[in-house]
Amino acid sequence: MRSALRSLAAVLAGFITASIVMMLVESINGRVLYPGLAKAAEGVKDREAMRALFAAAPVGALLVVIGGWTLGSFIGGWVAARLAGRATTGHALVLGVLLMLAGLANNLMLPPPLWFWIVSMVVFLPAAYAGARLVPAR
């Protein structure tokens, strides 16, 4: 029972860490790098208007989001693996799947361009795995 709780806590801590990293990167993206895009998105409530806004968004802004998702997955995978007692890579991959599902939900709510869909669904698992590989063996 104790190892199951530890596993759950490790993945949850990795998810929270990844989410914080992603939010920080996206916040910097919206406030510093592309403030006009963030202001334009504030009042948009219609799905089609949001789709048009994403289609007109600079590629750099969307690449920063992908970078944030990759960095968050990497750091979250490291945290999950570091806190897990054993099967460190497995914990990181579980986290990667959860993050991929969250990314899928995000893409369904705010429909991005097709290339973003493809890239965003590819980055979570390898990044979480790479983060886990940096954890020293016990």
Residue 67 to residue 80: CA distance in whole angstroms: 20
The pLDDT mean for the chain works out to 89
Predicted confidence (pLDDT) at residue 129 exceeds the cutoff of 90: yes
Domain assignment present for 70: yes
Domain assignment present for 81: yes
Residue 103 to residue 63: CA distance in whole angstroms: 14
Domain that holds residue 23: 2-133
Domain assignment present for 43: yes
Question: CB of 31 within 8 A of CB of 38?
Answer: yes
Domain assignment present for 45: yes
For residue 1, name the pLDDT band (cuts at 50, 70, 90).
low
Q: Rounded to whole angstroms, what are the CA distances from 39 to 9, 42, 68?
A: 37, 5, 20
Residues sharing a CB contact under 8 Å with residue 1, sequence separation 6 or more, in sequence order: none
Domain assignment present for 11: yes
Predicted confidence (pLDDT) at residue 56 exceeds the cutoff of 70: yes
Question: How many structural domains does the chain have?
Answer: 1
Domain assignment present for 28: yes
What pLDDT, in 10s, does the model give residues 114-127?
899 999 999 999 99
Q: Identify the pLDDT of residue 31.
A: 82
Domain assignment present for 138: no
> If you average pLDDT over residues 47-74, what whole number do you get?
88
Domain assignment present for 34: yes
Q: Identify the pLDDT of residue 23.
A: 95
Residues sharing a CB contact under 8 Å with residue 125, sequence separation 6 or more, in sequence order: 73, 93, 96, 97, 100
Residues sharing a CB contact under 8 Å with residue 33, sequence separation 6 or more, in sequence order: 60, 61, 64
Handedness of CA 125, 130, 131, 132 (dihedral sign): positive
Task: Name the helix (H) or strand (E) containing 97.
Answer: helix 88-109
